[in-house]
Amino acid sequence: MRRFAQLFRDLDRTTRTSEKTAHLVRYFGEAAPADAAWALYLLTGRKLKRLIKTRALREWAAETAGVPLWLLERSYEAVGDLGETLAWILPPPESAVDQSLAAVIEQRIQPLAEASPAQQARIVREAWRVFGEYERLVFHKLIAGEFRVGVAQTLVVRALAEAVGVPAPTMAHRLAGDWQPTAEMYERLVAGDAAADDPARPYPFFLAYALEEPCRTLGEPHEWQAEWKWDGIRGQALRRGETTALWSRGEELVTERFPELQPVLDALPSGTVLDGEILAWRDDRPLPFAALQKRIGRKTVTPRILKEAPTAFQSYDVLEYEGIDQRERPLVERRALLEQIVAQVAQPRLRLSPIVPFGSWDELEQQYARARAEQVEGLMLKQRDAPYGVGRRRGPWWKWKAEPYSIDAVLLYAQSGHGKRAGLYTDYTFGVWDMRRLVPVAKAYSGLTDEEIREVDAFIRAHTLDKFGPVREVEPRLVFELHFEGIQVSSRHKAGIAVRFPRMHRWRRDKPPAEADSLETLVSLAGLHREQLHPRISRQAMLFDLGGDLDDGPTGTAADSLDQEAEAPRS
């Protein structure tokens, strides 16, 4: 555990990729297989379940440290990270014991799940007695189910590949999908016994970078294939023998969440893997992402949901055919094969992502301008002779996102940030005018420079109207231009609508709040009619005025959470 805690510390305190890689390579070079397997599991973003209520943890820590609970809370406010606060507040260990990472997880952490509160307290106190500072920090994050490290998954895979001498793409493939962190698994991974490969294992997804230059800088138009950028869940549909699987890009097995796609999987010829997008699709057209989102959080799929938001698999690419990896073949050949497979399978829920025709870059620009009308997020550009790569790489694929929506909104509420932004007010709720009131419509916390954040923070402290727990209501005086990707009707929000991926584009110091946009503008941007929202507005507004549903102000939309960067853990 000490070695892993040291790795955590090393990774945490450098921003240089080369240093991170070196630390990882060294770790994997030294670690015992069982430890390496667990480290890999945690570093690639797989989480342990939350096993302990943080409330209980705070109480035990306060008691052990001999400080009153309020002082611990006050310290937490200063640190902004609970696991860290507790680690620093506890007295030094009595007798240092260095147990392996696997032993700590399997003998100290996992048993917490079945333990009574009294037993849990005993286990945690015993750990505190023998762990040093950083071991405690890691331990707290593990038992609270919020262990995170600022290192990209692809970097971990590359470092592991380097440490054990396996090509990186092979390693990425072996690591894709579901696996249990055991010594045996790690040894298989390192030895590379292909026969032991899991039949349900997907391929790592190839991802595109955003196009920032004009499209004509890409060279000859005929070398490129264009498709719409669909707004759904990227996925892989797979069948090998009797095994069928539907994987999402988070490498989660989602087969059971989409029973209507099972016939598609069953109809695939054995040894086929398709790349595509799971879309909510009805009456021959895609539904807004919100329809699909309703299904993401649910374990059970009701007939009603199936009727309201049925899905289709919009296929982009073929990665394996007749059991043979197709990824090295050029896109033109893969596309021809894909068209053949889709025709042969002949399932209504297996669709082919249409090619967007263009003969010149001018024509493509005209197509791009239609993206919003087509209810897609923009265009995808793929080089015709390129293979299917691994991870995110510049060059062969580009995503050309439709222009974001833009409004000017007024800062209404603020909440302090966590981690790097602890102690500063960085999470803001913005409102637009509705008649003579400002109604909250979006929550955003990215897009400002550190300098601006400090300035806004000072403004907030000096112009607080009211406090609700950690939330401050602010004098409505600052105007910001917000960008976002979509607008949806939402009964959960006071304004009756919710925006997707909102962020601050710039601070409009030049604009007085009276000149901020109105709800009317937002509604018309969305191509909606006011009547579609009206009843909700009045009902929600009433709730709000009664002090009821504060939630829809400061805590924002469910879509927000999809946009969170892997920053410091939120405690």
Q: Which residues bind other proteins (CB under 8 A)?
A: 12-16, 65, 67-68, 70-72, 74-75, 78-81, 84-85, 88-89, 92, 419-423, 450, 454, 568
Contacts of 365 (CB under 8 A, 6+ apart): 215
In terms of DSSP H, where are the helices of 194-288? 262-267
Residue closer to other proteins (CB basis): 78 or 210: 78
User: CB 538 → other proteins: shortest distance, Å?
Assistant: 42
Supply φ then ψ for residue 48, to 5 degrees. Answer: -80, 155
Would strands 479-484 and 486-489 be described as parallel, antiparallel, or unpaired?
A: unpaired
In whole angstroms, what is the distance from residue 296 CA to residue 320 CA?
A: 27
Picking from 152, 139, 61, 140, the residue whose alpha carbon sits closest to that of residue 101 is 139
Question: Can you tell me the distance from the alpha carbon of 428 to that of 70, in angstroms, rounded to the nearest whole number?
Answer: 27
- Backbone phi and psi for residue 299, each to the nearest 5 degrees, phi listed first: -85, -40
- What is the closest distance, in whole angstroms, from the C-beta atom of residue 467 to other proteins in the complex? 17
Q: How far is the CB of 66 from other proteins (least distance, A)?
A: 9
CB of 67 to other proteins, least distance (A): 5
Tally Cβ neighbours within 10 Å of residue 375: 16
Residue 152 beta carbon to other proteins: minimum distance, rounded to whole angstroms: 17
- Detail the DSSP E strand segments found in 322-377: 324-325, 350-352
CB nearer other proteins, residue 75 or residue 326: 75
**92 closest CA partner among 140, 132, 150, 139:** 132
Of 59 and 374, the one with the shorter C-beta distance to other proteins is: 59
Cβ proximity to other proteins, 12 vs 178, nearer residue: 12
Instruction: Tell me the closest approach of the beta carbon of residue 140 to other proteins, in angstroms.
Output: 13
Q: Which is nearer to other proteins, 169 or 419 (CB)?
A: 419
CB 189 within 8 A of CB 211: no
For other proteins, which is the closer residue by CB, 66 or 241?
A: 66
Min separation Cβ 77 and other proteins, Å:
9
Q: Give the count of beta carbons closer than 10 Å to the beta carbon of residue 107.
A: 12
Which element (helix H / strand E) includes 11? helix 2-12
Residue 569 C-beta: closest distance to other proteins, Å: 11
Q: Write down how long the chain is.
A: 571
Query: What is the nearest approach in angstroms of other proteins to the Cβ of residue 425?
Result: 14
Q: Is 97 exposed, middle or buried (0-12, 13-18, 19+ CB in 10 A)?
A: middle
Write down the H helix ranges in 165-274: 168-175, 183-191, 262-267
Rounded CA-CA distance 369/374 in Å is: 10
From CA 441, how far away is CA 439, in angstroms rounded? 6
CB of 477 to other proteins, least distance (A): 24
Least distance between other proteins and beta carbon 487 (Å): 34
Half-sphere exposure of 396 (CA within 13 A, CB side): 16
Report the C-alpha dihedral over residues 313, 319, 323, 324, rounded to 10 degrees.
160
- Shorter beta-carbon distance to other proteins: residue 8 or 179: 8
Q: Among residues 64 and 110, whose Cβ is nearest to other proteins?
A: 64
Q: Are 326 and 286 in contact (CB under 8 A)?
A: no
If the CB atoms of residues 57 and 439 are measured against other proteins, the closer one turns out to be: 57
Q: Decide whether 89 or 160 has the Cβ nearer to other proteins.
A: 89
For residue 380, the minimal CB distance to other proteins (Å) is 35
Task: Closer to other proteins by CB, 166 or 448: give it.
Answer: 448
Q: Which two tokens stand for residue 519?
A: 């709800």
Q: Which is nearer to other proteins, 408 or 457 (CB)?
A: 457
Beta pairing partners, 317:
275
